[in-house]
């Protein structure tokens, strides 16, 4: 993992007082909390770790053609649109060490990947601090997010090929949504940093659904707001919990293998895994879909 020493963080006593001004998306339809109005989308019977779509192990061809016509693409944010996990890991490592977690021994990247990445903050409060008062644990998580946002505003860049993919989506008139377990301030900030405030039609926050990822609720809500069937959409995800959520919502998932091991993403149900949006296997799949659409148009 790249060294983050160059970030020149302020001393830890400042981490709990600095607050970043909230960023707002300007043209994105934001899903607000409505716990009693979940999407009524048909979900195939399956476990969270299996997928009804062809995978690299099952087929030499990719899955997108089975979605014809493709109408929408849904994106996770952290670790998918931008390589934010190193920042999250750095902040957790520094702040957990300060409070004496694990006897003061810094957490490893493997521990972060297996126990923290992709998890909702409320669940982390209980998992990391089972003996803490819940209010104290929540305060720790809030302060962690403040520190992350401060660093993200200076350091984060889009995953390679993202601009090219967004242009392709625009040209094909596809609907698009961002679906995340991150807090609303984090999600809005990252989308703004990446210049995608006008790109996403919908932003769904896991904490504003009945259940967060790995449950399918956030993705089902995105489909409902977009008015698209799960039979005509797919997902980009980087975390195990996110992959399971997309699969449980009845959609194929492309894994973003920036940090999490490819074999674990595959086991969680991805159809295939890419390292960035420039990878040829993604564009081969998109081209296959385009070719099938042309054939369908000519023969009907």
- 53 DSSP 8-state letter: S
Name which of 168, 147, 161 is nearest 64 in CA terms: 168
How many CB atoms within 10 Å of residue 227? Answer: 10
Burial of 226 (0-12, 13-18, 19+ CB in 10 A): buried
Q: Which of 58, 76, 85, 278 is catalytic?
A: 76
What are the backbone angles phi and psi of residue 219, rounded to the nearest 5°?
Answer: -70, -35
CA angle 23, 186, 197 (to 5 degrees): 50
C-alpha to C-alpha distances, 1 to 32, 86, 128, nearest whole angstrom: 36, 7, 23
Beta bridge partners of 175: 72
Beta bridge partners of 73: 176, 234
What 3-state class would DSSP assign to 245?
helix
Asked if 145 and 186 count as a contact pair (C-beta separation under 8 A), the reply is: yes
Count of all residues that appear for the chain in the document = 300
142 is catalytic: no
Nearest-10 Cα torsion for 114, 92, 190, 173: 0
85 is catalytic: no
Name which of 70, 117, 9, 128 is nearest 291 in CA terms: 70
Q: Which of 18, 78, 142, 146 is catalytic?
A: 78
Rounded distance between C-alpha atoms, residue 128 and residue 105, angstroms: 14
Rounded distance between C-alpha atoms, residue 26 and residue 43, angstroms: 33
Q: How far is CA 245 from the centre of its chain?
A: 10
Active-site residue numbers?
Answer: 76, 78
């Amino acid at each position: 993992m790249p060294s983050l020493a160059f970030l020149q963080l302020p001393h830890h006593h400042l981490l709990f007082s600095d607050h970043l001004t909230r960023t707002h998306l300007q043209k994105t339809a934001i899903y607000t909390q409505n716990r009693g109005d979940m999407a009524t989308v048909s979900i195939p019977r399956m476990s969270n770790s299996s997928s009804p779509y062809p995978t690299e192990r099952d087929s030499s061809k990719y899955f997108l053609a089975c979605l014809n016509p493709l109408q929408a693409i849904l994106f996770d944010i952290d670790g998918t649109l931008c390589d934010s996990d190193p920042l999250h890991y750095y902040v957790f490592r520094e702040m957990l060490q300060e409070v004496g977690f694990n006897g003061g021994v810094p957490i490893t990247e493997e521990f972060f990947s297996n126990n923290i990445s992709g998890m909702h903050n409320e669940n982390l409060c209980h998992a990391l601090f089972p003996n803490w008062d819940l209010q104290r644990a929540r305060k720790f998580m809030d302060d962690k997010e403040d520190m992350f946002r401060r660093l993200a505003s200076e350091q984060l860049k889009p995953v390679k090929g993202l601009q090219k993919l967004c242009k392709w989506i625009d040209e094909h008139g596809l609907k698009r949504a961002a679906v995340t377990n991150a807090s609303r301030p984090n999600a809005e900030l990252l989308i703004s940093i990446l210049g995608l405030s006008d790109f996403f039609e919908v932003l769904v926050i896991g904490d504003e659904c009945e259940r967060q990822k790995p449950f399918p609720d956030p993705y089902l809500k995105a489909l409902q707001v977009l008015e698209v069937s799960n039979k005509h959409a797919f997902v980009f995800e980087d975390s195990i919990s996110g992959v399971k959520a997309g699969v449980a919502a009845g959609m194929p998932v492309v894994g973003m293998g920036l940090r999490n091991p490819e074999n674990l993403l595959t086991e969680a149900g991805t159809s295939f895994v890419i390292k960035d949006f420039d990878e040829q296997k993604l564009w081969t799949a998109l081209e296959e879909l385009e070719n099938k659409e042309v054939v369908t148009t000519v023969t009907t």
